[in-house]
Amino acid sequence: MNQSCNSAYKAIYERMGTIQTPCHLFYRNRLLEDIIAIEEGLSKPCTMPLTKVYSVKTNSRPEVLSLLNERSWMFQVMNMGDLKAVQKAEIPAHKIQLAGPGWTESFLESVFDYGEAHSFVLDSPHAAHLLLKCFEKHPPQKASILIRINENNSHFGLPPDCSKVEEIFCLFSSYKQLRMGLQIHKNLPGTPCAPVIENTVKDFSERLERLLKIARDLKVKIEFLNLGGGIDSPWVYRVPPKEMGDFHNPQLTNSIRNRLEKNEFKLSVLFESLVKELEKKLPSPIELQFELGRSIVSRALSTLISVTDIKNDLYSEKQIIITDGNTASLGLMHTSIYKINHLSNRIANKLIPSFLYGSLPHSGDWLAMNLDLPQASIGDKILIEHIGAYVLAYEANFGMPLFSIYDGESFIKYR
């Protein structure tokens, strides 16, 4: 959502005008507000056993993990970066849910060296065999096994073929102490033409129907369901790529902005609607797991960047704003619309279609297009809000190690 520089933003500028940029601003109070909203939204109407799982890859800052740990959340770990983050935050192994894809023997050994995880989400038959091999060396005590079902033609999870799902469960049949469950994951499309809550509840309802059918058809006793992922933040709209390609269409941006302004609601409203769907469809109480990420941390982080140059000569009645930010740290902005505010010591009434670029000298280094902003000046600040999900992980390669660089002929390692 684009906002002009009014008196409130002038006051913010006076506070932030001397901060060295680019920088991130962490808001613990916003994080806590949204955690409480989620917890209340889930706990008040829900009579079924419920486990709340946080996806560490979304934002692995120690402040975030420690706060959630204090509030009895579980933590989904996907790679060595995630594992190191939870270890640094002193989160015990029994609060870890291990998920894929891409497990290796060495990674699983590192997990078991830390302790027995609470549960394992199997993404493929190969992952199942790797885990079985580890179980031979580290017999499980009371872990849970989940199989991830995915039906939207992505490379994550298994297709909803019950025979294949049952085959994997049978691999673990000798471990009577294990609890068996299913996870279904389908990201929400989040189009700018429909309210978030209606999209979410409709998709959730359909997802739950499919998961329950698989559970009924299986001969394996299913003790819990994991409704993993895909619950977006109500403050961020994911824009379909086919629409993001039309960068120079101001109507697209305006329609998204108008819809965002109408749908900034409390997360508890969303979850109350989801729980009603559960109560209608579940034949009897069953343990539920919700895996959440961006809906928790989106508002907890903002980025402050400075205007370093203005180009008004390339387009009539438009401005190209160059900043000291860049897509190396804000790359995921390409697929999202965030709340962008122009901060200045001037009050401006006229808004100009604006193109926001970073400091890297290539055409792909754009941060936002067709924003209605006041006339900018060098030294003004741009405050980009609600970027708490994925941006820090993007900077840190989502917890993955940097690629090594070798000489292509002699294979001498440079990095």
**CATH at 376:** 2.40.37.10
Residues 161 and 251 in one domain: yes
Q: Are residues 272 and 316 in the same domain?
A: no
pLDDT at residue number 331: 58
Q: Which domain holds residue 224?
A: 28-298
Give the single-character DSSP code of 23. Answer: E
Tokens in use for 408? 């292509």
113 shares its domain with 222: yes
Residue 274 lies in a domain: yes
Residue 120 lies in a domain: yes
Spacing of C-alpha 255 from chain mean position: 24
To the nearest 10°, report the CA torsion of 55, 59, 65, 67. Answer: -110
**How many other CB atoms are there within 10 angstroms of residue 324's CB atom?**
17
The whole-number pLDDT of residue 82 equals 93
Classified as helix, coil or strand, 141 is: coil
Whether the CB-CB separation of 330 and 358 falls below 8 Å is answered with yes
pLDDT of residue 93: 95
- 32 and 14 in one domain? no
Cα gap 281→84, rounded to integer Å: 39
Q: Is residue 406 part of a domain?
A: no
Angle subtended at Cα 372 by Cα 12 and Cα 21, rounded to the nearest 5 degrees: 40
Q: 331 with 229, same domain?
A: no
Neighbouring CB atoms inside 10 A of 381's CB total 23
Q: What is the dihedral of CA 117, 65, 207, 237, to 10 degrees?
A: -150
List, in sequence order, the alpha helices (H) in 91-221: 105-114, 125-137, 162-171, 196-217
pLDDT in the model for residue 111? 95
Same domain, 332 and 249: no
Specify if 401 maps to a domain: no
With 0-12 CB in 10 A as exposed, 13-18 as middle and 19+ as buried, what is 354? buried
Q: From CA 412, how far away is CA 406, in angstroms rounded?
A: 5
Residue 414 resides in a domain: no
**Pair 16, 99 in one domain:** no
DSSP reduced 3-state for 320: strand
State the Rg of the chain over Cα: 23
Q: Of 391, 299, 298, 304, nearest to 342 (Cα)?
A: 304
Say whether 261 sits in a helix, a strand or coil: helix
Residue 306 in any domain: the answer is yes
Partners of 368 in the β-ladder: 356
Token duo for residue 271: 């979850």
Residue at 226: amino acid letter: N
Please report whether residue 142 resides in a domain: yes
Mean pLDDT by runs of 10 across the 415 residues of the chain is: 45 70 84 82 73 92 94 94 94 94 92 94 91 94 87 70 79 89 63 52 74 77 76 48 40 49 50 72 79 84 89 81 82 58 74 86 78 87 83 68 59 63
pLDDT of residue 236: 46
The count of domains in the chain is 2
Q: Would you say residue 400 lies in a domain?
A: no
Q: Let me know whether 163 and 53 are in one domain.
A: yes
Where residue 52 sits, what CATH number does that domain have?
Answer: 3.20.20.10
Same domain, 233 and 99: yes
pTM over 0.95: no
Same structural domain, 338 and 352: yes
The pLDDT value given to residue 346: 73
Question: In terms of domains, do 128 and 231 share one?
Answer: yes
pLDDT of residue 239: 41
Same domain, 263 and 314: no
How far, rounded to the nearest angstrom, does the alpha carbon of residue 158 sit from its chain's CA centroid?
Answer: 21
